[in-house]
Structure 1
Amino acid sequence: MANDKNISDMNAAENADTSGPTRPSRRHALRVATGVGGAALAAGIGAPAAMASDAGRRGRSHTGVRTYVLVHGTHSAGAFWTAIGRELALRGHRVVAVDQPLHGTDRFVPKAYQTQDLRALATEPSPVAALTLDDYERRVTDVVRRAARLGGPVVLVGHSMGGVSVSRVGNAVPELLARICYMAAFCPSRSMPSLNACAASPEGQHSITPMDQLVGDPGALGVLRLNWRTADRRDLAVFKEMICADYSDVAFLRVLEGMQTDESMTAYDGRAVGRADTWGRIPRTYLRFGKDRTVATELQDRMIAEADALTPDNRFSVHNVPDAGHLGPEDPTLVTDILHNLSV
């Protein structure tokens, strides 16, 4: 578990490799099956170059009430943010944890998942297949608009796949956002314009790929489907290593309980590149998790570097948490402290 001594703000190097496929193979597309934005959920291109405090970079106070709009990732729901959201609220802030369409309170649960009929689960149709990244963007943009009407600054935070929504919303309504924050999240760039393209990059190959855990044919189903209720010890070991290797077994079971089976294949391939004149003018922060096996640290570093190259006068403020896996520290205090102290 990381402690306060392990947290530092840093700028990623700017010499990121700008090559990389924009249309990954089907196998590469499957690599993102658990870009888990989590329930309960970089030898890289650029090494850290300089240290700077977030408040010092912006010179703005972090005191006062703001509204945090929190966006979950794939196979997840707004409940992922429960512990962090509670702590932010107790510090005097407004908190809205978004449920994306057919997630969370409106989640789709296959009948065969409940009964654990694995043969039927491999073919049961899913309405999630019809969802696109446009649907996710609209949901979050609507919440941001409503939050802005409350008054006070709005901070938009995305975890894992939630990062692609953050980028899209940053393009759509930059004037409503005081800061955007990526927590071990996908931040597509011109050379990697979608989540699929990020996962298919050389840096993305450092992630764990649950190929053997996929249920059914993603091409036929239109979704990436995972059976989180599996009793197979090998599958459970892969899931834990992938998303929260440092968690206790009890905490890991709580994570599994909140995971959703399906995520849209179409949404994974949606373009989500921040534009310099919109997204690029919003102050931004990246929470870099050093033991992430879903969004590999090598990929995190490349995404940070390519974003900074696009807007060199408005670079990421990076908080490095070297011992954190994909879901972050089991104790929410560390992440809460970072979010609470962001300058706006």
Structure 2
Amino acid sequence: MADDAKNTGTGRDTSTDTGTSSAAAPSRRHALRRLTAVAGGAAVAVGLGTGVGRATDHGGARGQGQAQAQGQGRGRRGVRTYVLVHGTHSAGTFWAAIGRELALRGHRVVAVDQPLHGTERFVPEAYQAQDLRALATEPSPLAALTLDDFARRVTNTVRRAARLGGPVVLVGHSMGGVSVSRVADAVPELLAHICYMAAFCPSRTMPSLNDCAASPEGQRAINPVEQVIGDPEKLGVLRLNWRTSNRRDLALFKEMICANYTDAAFLRVLEGMQTDESLAAYAGRAVGRAGTWGRIPRTYLRMGKDRTVSPELQDRMIAEADALTPDNRFTVHDFPGAGHLGPSDPAPLVDLLHGLPVTV
């Protein structure tokens, strides 16, 4: 059964402490704790469920000065293009069920594969062989990637989508939120709406994904420090073995990303994960400016049982964004029973995305 979205009031304006990590000690354990404090750095999985049934209205929105995102009026008219951005260790196939349903409702849908993800994914030879000793040292081409590379890929997609005509809606999940912020700041004139799904939305006090995750609120997420393979600082990537047979590791991964999924659905999620993610991309600055990013209508899909981007961090990011642009605040839809991947039945997410109000 799908988790219901509900109105829980305005987001809390929590501490503005940047919460930088105190793990400066040279020990490997401390280094790993600092690096894996990126919260989403281990857990943006693929696949939001398989059965999108007849979508229904699953609740309300909160926020001031925003239209209700329930698809009334001009927002439902005409063909839109949805550009969908996956998170870390993931790929465009994350959006398969949602994208299919949006296309069946008459929209164009482009699920972006970031560089060396998805159809370009890097698969370490040692991962295929499950040689953990070799996996700890096998070099990764993702170490050379930066947030600039990710933002460039999404910006180029948005430009091409805009040339097709009709409104363009940019949606990011988890780490995909930093690309949303970068792209919206660079080409606001091309975007009719931006949407963050349990996604990182950096601010002046937390300018990167690392800073968001290292904040006191971000530290309330699950930290997979014991599951990291190799030395991230030497590899230049955060590497995880999703094919592990260790029951403790599997239980932690499931709790981190989709505790509300069945075991069978969780195993399907693991099949879509990739081992490596760029450390440099986690550190990239992605702060939207009031006059560019801040003028685009925006929505946040808040997951109440998220153990990767904690609900407390989601609330702080929302509050700090709204403080920057008080006349253009987030419309927030709550999914109180959902983990990081959202409700196991994505129908309510499809409803909300289909009904987002757009500027024309």
TM-score (norm 2): 0.89
AA matched with 1:276: A
TM-superposed deviation, 1:17: 1.9
Is the aligned partner of 1:313 residue 2:327?
yes
- The Cα offsets for residues 236-271 of structure 1, whole Å up to 9 and x where unpaired, read as 000000000011111101000000000000000000
Q: Quote the Cα distance in structure 2 between the aligned partners of 1:282 and 1:297.
A: 23
Alignment match, 2:28: none
Q: CA RMSD in A?
A: 2.1
Deviation, 1:205, is 1.1
1:257-296 correspondence to structure 2 within 5 Å: 257-296=271-310
Please name the residue that 2:44 is paired with.
37
Name the structure 1 match of 2:54. Answer: none
2:265 maps to 251
Other-structure match for 1:100: 114
Structure 2 counterpart of 1:44: none
Q: Sort the Cα spacing of 1:263 and 1:80 in 2 relative to 1 into closer, same or farther, 3 A.
A: same
SS of corresponding position for 2:77: coil
What SS does the corresponding residue of 2:75 show, helix, strand or coil?
coil
Name the stretch that deviates more: 281-290 or 55-64: 55-64
Secondary structure of 2:151's counterpart equals helix
Structure 2 residue 242 is matched with structure 1 residue 231:
no
- Aligned residue identity for 2:184: G
User: Does 1:134 pair with 2:133?
Assistant: no
- If the length of structure 1 is used for normalisation, what is the TM-score? 0.93
* Closer/same/farther in 2, CA of residues 156 and 24 from structure 1, 3 Å limit: farther
State the alpha-carbon separation in 1 of the partners of residues 238 and 165 from structure 2: 39
Partner of 1:61, secondary structure, is helix
Structure 2 unmatched runs, 5+: 24-30, 49-61
CA drift at 1:52 = 7.4
Provide the secondary structure at the position in 2 that maps to 1:54: coil
* Contact 2:21–2:34 under 8 Å retained in 1: no
The CA deviation string for residues 309-334 of structure 1, in whole angstroms up to 9 with x for no partner, is 00000000000111110001111211
Unaligned runs of 5+ in 1: 42-47
Offset of 1:28 from its aligned partner?
2.9
* Residues 272 and 327 (structure 1), Cα distance of their counterparts in 2 relative to 1, 3 Å cut: same
Summarize the Cα distance change of 1:330–1:205 in structure 2 as closer, same or farther, 3 Å threshold.
same
- Following the alignment from structure 2 to structure 1, what is the Cα–Cα distance between the partners of residues 191 and 8? 21
> 1:54: how far off?
2.0
| Cα distance in 2 for residues equivalent to 1:57 and 1:19 | 37
Change (3 A) 1:311 1:53: closer
**What is the percent sequence identity of the aligned residues?**
73
Which residue in the other structure is 2:7 paired with?
8
The Cα of 1:10 is off from its aligned counterpart by 5.0
1:17 is aligned, of 1, 4, 15, to 15
- Match of 1:267, SS state, is helix
Letter in 2 for 1:239: F
In structure 2, the CA distance between the partners of 1:22 and 1:282, relative to structure 1 (3 Å rule), is farther
Aligned amino acid, residue 31 of structure 1: A
Per the TM alignment, residue 59 of structure 1 is displaced from its structure 2 partner at its CA by 7.0
> Are the counterparts in 2 of residues 2 and 322 from structure 1 also a CA contact under 8 Å?
no
- Partner letter of residue 34 of structure 2? H
